[in-house]
Amino acid sequence: MVDTDIFKALADPTRRRVFEKLAGGSLNASALRDGLEISQPAISQHLAVLRAAGLVREQRQGRFVNYEVDPDGIASIGTWLARYRAYWPKRIEALSDLLKDMDQ
Protein backbone atom coordinates (compact mmCIF):
# COMPACT_ATOMS: atom_id res chain seq x y z
CA MET A 1 0.00 0.00 0.00
CA VAL A 2 1.42 3.33 -1.08
CA ASP A 3 -0.09 5.31 1.78
CA THR A 4 1.32 2.87 4.28
CA ASP A 5 4.85 3.41 3.00
CA ILE A 6 4.40 7.15 3.07
CA PHE A 7 3.01 7.35 6.59
CA LYS A 8 5.55 4.85 7.88
CA ALA A 9 8.32 6.91 6.33
CA LEU A 10 7.04 10.09 7.98
CA ALA A 11 6.46 8.39 11.33
CA ASP A 12 10.17 8.60 12.09
CA PRO A 13 11.29 11.97 13.54
CA THR A 14 14.73 11.79 11.98
CA ARG A 15 13.24 11.09 8.56
CA ARG A 16 10.90 14.04 8.95
CA ARG A 17 13.84 16.31 9.83
CA VAL A 18 15.63 15.12 6.71
CA PHE A 19 12.56 15.59 4.59
CA GLU A 20 11.91 19.05 5.96
CA LYS A 21 15.43 20.09 5.05
CA LEU A 22 14.50 19.29 1.50
CA ALA A 23 11.52 21.60 1.66
CA GLY A 24 13.99 24.42 0.99
CA GLY A 25 15.49 22.76 -2.05
CA SER A 26 17.69 19.89 -3.11
CA LEU A 27 20.61 18.71 -0.98
CA ASN A 28 23.08 15.83 -1.08
CA ALA A 29 23.29 13.08 1.52
CA SER A 30 26.15 14.67 3.46
CA ALA A 31 24.40 18.02 3.66
CA LEU A 32 21.28 16.25 4.87
CA ARG A 33 23.34 14.58 7.55
CA ASP A 34 24.78 17.86 8.88
CA GLY A 35 23.34 18.79 12.25
CA LEU A 36 21.84 15.39 12.82
CA GLU A 37 23.78 13.18 15.20
CA ILE A 38 23.49 10.08 13.16
CA SER A 39 25.83 7.74 11.31
CA GLN A 40 26.36 7.81 7.55
CA PRO A 41 24.66 4.44 7.00
CA ALA A 42 21.67 5.61 9.01
CA ILE A 43 21.11 8.61 6.73
CA SER A 44 21.54 6.40 3.72
CA GLN A 45 18.95 3.98 5.03
CA HIS A 46 16.52 6.75 5.88
CA LEU A 47 16.87 8.20 2.40
CA ALA A 48 16.20 4.76 0.94
CA VAL A 49 12.97 4.59 2.94
CA LEU A 50 11.89 8.07 1.85
CA ARG A 51 12.69 7.19 -1.73
CA ALA A 52 10.80 3.87 -1.64
CA ALA A 53 7.81 5.76 -0.29
CA GLY A 54 7.92 8.17 -3.21
CA LEU A 55 8.61 11.15 -0.98
CA VAL A 56 12.00 12.02 -2.43
CA ARG A 57 13.85 11.38 -5.64
CA GLU A 58 17.56 11.30 -6.28
CA GLN A 59 19.96 12.32 -8.98
CA ARG A 60 23.64 11.40 -9.19
CA GLN A 61 25.89 14.43 -9.48
CA GLY A 62 29.40 13.12 -9.81
CA ARG A 63 30.17 11.41 -6.57
CA PHE A 64 27.38 13.19 -4.79
CA VAL A 65 23.76 12.18 -4.85
CA ASN A 66 21.31 15.02 -4.78
CA TYR A 67 17.94 14.52 -3.17
CA GLU A 68 14.80 16.56 -3.60
CA VAL A 69 11.16 16.43 -2.63
CA ASP A 70 9.14 14.25 -5.00
CA PRO A 71 5.85 16.04 -5.73
CA ASP A 72 4.18 12.65 -6.23
CA GLY A 73 4.57 11.84 -2.54
CA ILE A 74 3.21 15.21 -1.52
CA ALA A 75 0.34 14.70 -3.93
CA SER A 76 -0.53 11.35 -2.33
CA ILE A 77 -0.80 12.94 1.08
CA GLY A 78 -2.84 15.78 -0.35
CA THR A 79 -5.24 13.35 -2.01
CA TRP A 80 -5.57 11.38 1.18
CA LEU A 81 -6.13 14.48 3.26
CA ALA A 82 -8.71 15.78 0.82
CA ARG A 83 -11.14 13.07 1.95
CA TYR A 84 -11.30 14.82 5.28
CA ARG A 85 -11.81 18.26 3.91
CA ALA A 86 -15.13 18.45 5.71
CA TYR A 87 -13.15 18.44 8.95
CA TRP A 88 -10.56 21.01 7.96
CA PRO A 89 -10.85 23.99 10.26
CA LYS A 90 -11.06 27.37 8.61
CA ARG A 91 -7.58 28.37 9.79
CA ILE A 92 -5.96 25.67 7.68
CA GLU A 93 -7.37 27.11 4.53
CA ALA A 94 -6.29 30.53 5.69
CA LEU A 95 -2.75 29.30 6.25
CA SER A 96 -2.79 27.55 2.94
CA ASP A 97 -3.80 30.74 1.17
CA LEU A 98 -1.16 32.71 3.02
CA LEU A 99 1.59 30.36 1.93
CA LYS A 100 0.26 30.51 -1.59
CA ASP A 101 0.74 34.27 -1.57
CA MET A 102 4.22 33.96 -0.09
CA ASP A 103 5.25 31.76 -2.97
CA GLN A 104 5.12 34.72 -5.32
Partner DNA sequence: CCAACACATAAGCATATACTAATGTGTTGT
Partner DNA sequence: ACAACACATTAGTATATGCTTATGTGTTGG
Does residue 29 bind a second copy (CB under 8 A)? no
Quick check: 11 binds DNA (CB under 7 A)? Answer: yes
> By C-alpha distance, which of 16, 21, 30 is closest to 61?
30
Binding to a second copy by residue 101, rule CB under 8 A? no
Measured from the CB atom, the residue of 22 and 47 that comes closer to DNA is: 47
For 10-46, letters b (16+ CB in 10 Å) and e give beeeebeebbebbeeebbbbeebbeeeeeeeeebeeb
Question: Please, what is the minimum distance in Å from the beta carbon of residue 29 to a second copy?
Answer: 20
| Residues of this chain, 41-70, that bind a second copy according to CB under 8 A | 69
Task: Pick between residue 39 and residue 96 the one whose CB is nearest to DNA.
Answer: 39
The verdict on 81 binding a second copy (CB under 8 A) reads: yes
CB 43 within 8 A of CB 29: yes
If one asks whether residue 25 binds DNA (CB under 7 A), the answer comes out as no
DSSP 8-class letter at 87? G
